[in-house]
Chain A
């Protein structure tokens, strides 16, 4: 007899979620782990479906703006903006020139807020909580400015169909300039901490790589795609609002480092570059904004009557901080409420990118890699399949269901 032992290296499974301390929002992961390495990963969605589109189909267009704001607390400007643009294109409503520029100002301010929030969360995920507080201190300034311009901190309620509801007056400009100057002064500090710090480099370089091919194949959008070197940005590709008049380019990480790796580090670079770009965009938009009307039709009852009479469909595509947001609206010409309203948030595209990113990584890298796409579950969960499939291997097809039903009938007949 020899002492030889045969060991079989079995993989084991770790389910994480739907509710888990490491996750900010409900999502279900099923990891297949070999030792410390992730062999395979499966993502399950659908835990936070709120039937927003269904609710929207029972409300008029003005009411939906505020419902669209609540799809996502962080993209609370871009969602209603996409919806408004969809309605505007369906009902042939022209937006005044000044409103276009003000929309850019608010959208870019939201991008600064969102990216700073993300940077803080990313720092928190790798256990670097001092940086979380540093970035969120800066974010607080952005939120104060939002409150100053709109009257609310998070759900801005600034948009309306055919324009914006509040003007940026001349006496508000000094405070805006002051806040933007604060961001500029602190940007270098932030860049230095995120890109030169040893802790960040150790945890983010070469981790969660998404190759350009995979990114293209999975249709990723926003900073996740741009960090993999794809030149894709709705603001540049299909300019909306006043973006066509503003000078801007795709923020890919090679602008700073000269190379694209598609790792978490590159995603940090892409977002930081966008913060800088957004500051510049707000400044130019405020400088170039012409004087004029804010709304094309200030009388809301008249606007609602116009929408009620219109039969048609419209699409709004906007670049949210996380990527492209898509809203589709159809009116039947008889009712005030839309016949159909469809929302596709950017995380929906980015979620499958987790699979190539996470394969081969360690368990401890899961939080930072998952967070690096800036996921937003409440935005994403749009469709729910009502089917009893608690066990993955036990999915009932229509035929099986029919068969079971017939069996039960026979059993009861006995």
Chain B
């Protein structure tokens, strides 16, 4: 066999693409309009690949449970967590977060956990979606 890739390459023509076409099968001409249509229920999103269990996504913070011990600030490798002196609570800037979930491990009262939300792209790093408090 001289050219062993000929077979697989030919067969590929009859196979479905491996890639999951997210969010739409074909790139929309106007993304904002497409997203507005999705919001209005006119168009449908092509769902993303499901995240596995224990996925490390956006941090969820249970403010009531927090005792303000500052341990998460001590171990955070990115310096993404700020302490609010008055309230004795924390504020997490997700734009700096590296999703290592070390703060989840160290928390003595388990007030931090990780969700499976991963669509966190934003043009403003201080936007409401990227700050957990």
Q: Which of B3, B52, B77, B106 sits near A67, CB closer than 8 Å?
A: B77
Q: Are B18 and A140 in contact (CB under 8 A)?
A: yes
Type the 1/0 row for B46-65, where 1 means its CB is closer than 8 Å to any CB of A. 00000011111000000000
B5, B52, B105: which contacts A197 (Cβ < 8 A)?
B5
Q: Is the CB of A137 within 8 A of B100?
A: no
Is B127 interfacial (CB 8 A cutoff)? Answer: no
14 contacts between A and B (CB under 8 A): A62-B75, A62-B77, A62-B102, A130-B8, A134-B5, A147-B52, A148-B53, A151-B55, A151-B56, A151-B101, A165-B105, A193-B4, A197-B1, A198-B3
Q: Establish whether residues A60 and B74, one from each chain, have CB atoms under 8 Å apart when the complex forms.
A: yes
Q: Find A130's partner among B5, B71, B75 (CB 8 Å cutoff).
A: B5
Give per-residue flags for A141-181: 1 if the beta carbon is below 8 A from chain B beta carbons, else 0.
Answer: 00000011001100101001000011000000000000000
List A contacts of B1 (CB < 8 A): 192, 196-197
B52: chain A residues at CB < 8 Å are 147-148, 151
Known: A59-B77, A134-B8. A300 touches B3 (CB 8 A): no
Q: Does B99 contact A (CB under 8 A)?
A: yes
| Known interface pairs A62-B75, A151-B101; A197-B4 also in contact (CB < 8 Å) | yes
Which residues of B95-114 are within 8 A (CB) of A? 98-102, 105-106, 114
Given contacts A63-B75, A147-B55, A157-B56, A196 and B4 within 8 Å (CB-CB): yes
CA distance A241 to B18 in the complex (A): 36
With an 8 Å Cβ cutoff, the count of chain A residues facing the other chain is: 33
Q: How far is the CA of A160 from the CA of B53 in the complex (A)?
A: 21
Q: Are B5 and A128 within 8 A (Cβ)?
A: yes
Q: What DSSP secondary structure best describes chain A's contact surface?
A: helix
CA distance A112 to B106 in the complex (A): 31
What chain B residues lie within 8 Å of A289 (beta carbons)?
Answer: none
Q: Does B45 contact A (CB under 8 A)?
A: no
Do A151 and B54 touch (CB < 8 A)? yes
Per-residue contact bits, chain A 34-56, to B (CB 8 Å; 1 contact, 0 not): 00000000000000000000000
B63-77 with Cβ < 8 A to chain A: 71, 74-77
A66 at the interface (CB under 8 A from B): yes
Q: Nearest B residue to A171 by beta-carbon distance?
A: B53
Residue of B nearest to A140 (CB): B18
In the complex, how many angstroms separate the beta carbon of A137 from the nearest chain B beta carbon?
A: 6
- A197 and B3 in contact, given A148-B52, A151-B101, A152-B99 (Cβ under 8 angstroms): yes
A300 in contact with B5 (CB, 8 Å) = no
Which chain A residues lie closer than 8 Å to B4 at the CB level?
Answer: 192-193, 196-197
Give the residues in chain B near A65, CB-CB below 8 Å: 77
Which residues of B have CB within 8 Å of A130? 5, 8-9
Residue A301 at the B interface, CB < 8 A? Answer: yes
Q: Please state if A300 and B106 are interface contacts (CB–CB under 8 Å).
A: yes
A122 to chain B, nearest CB (A): 14
> Across the A-B interface, how many residue pairs have beta carbons closer than 8 Å?
73
Interface flag for B41 (CB, 8 Å): no
CA distance A31 to B99 in the complex (A): 43
Contacts of B5 in A (CB 8 A): 128, 130-131, 134, 193, 197, 199
Does the CB pair A157–B101 fall under 8 Å? yes
User: Could you tell me the distance between the alpha carbons of A404 and B71 in the complex, rounded to whole angstroms?
Assistant: 54
Interface residues of B in 12-58 (CB under 8 A from A): 18, 52-56
Whether B101 pairs with A300 at a CB distance below 8 angstroms is no
Which residues of chain A from 296 to 340 have a CB within 8 Å of any chain B CB?
A: 300-301, 304
Indicate the member of B2, B55, B56 with the most A CB atoms within 10 Å: B56
**List of B residues within 8 angstroms of A67 by Cβ:** 77
Given contacts A134-B8, A151-B56, A166-B54, contact A63 B76 (CB under 8 A): yes
Q: Which residues of the partner chain A approach B99 to less than 8 Å between Cβ atoms?
A: 152, 157
Q: Which residues of B contact A60 (CB under 8 A)?
A: 74-75
Residue of A nearest to B8 (CB): A134
Q: How distant is B100 from chain A, measured CB to nearest CB, in Å?
A: 4
Contact B102 A199 (CB under 8 A): no
Verify A66–B3 contact, CB threshold 8 A: no
Q: How far is the CA of A290 from the CA of B92 in the complex (A)?
A: 38
The smallest beta-carbon distance between B10 and chain A, in angstroms, is 10
| A63→B55 contact, CB < 8 A | no
Set of chain B residues within 8 Å of A157, measured between Cβ atoms: 56, 98-102
Closest chain-A Cβ to B105's Cβ sits at a distance in Å of 7
Query: How distant is the Cα of A152 from the Cα of B54 in the complex, in angstroms?
Result: 10
- The interface residues of chain A lying within 8 Å CB-to-CB of B9 are 130
The residue of chain A having its C-beta at the shortest distance from the C-beta of B1 within the complex is A196
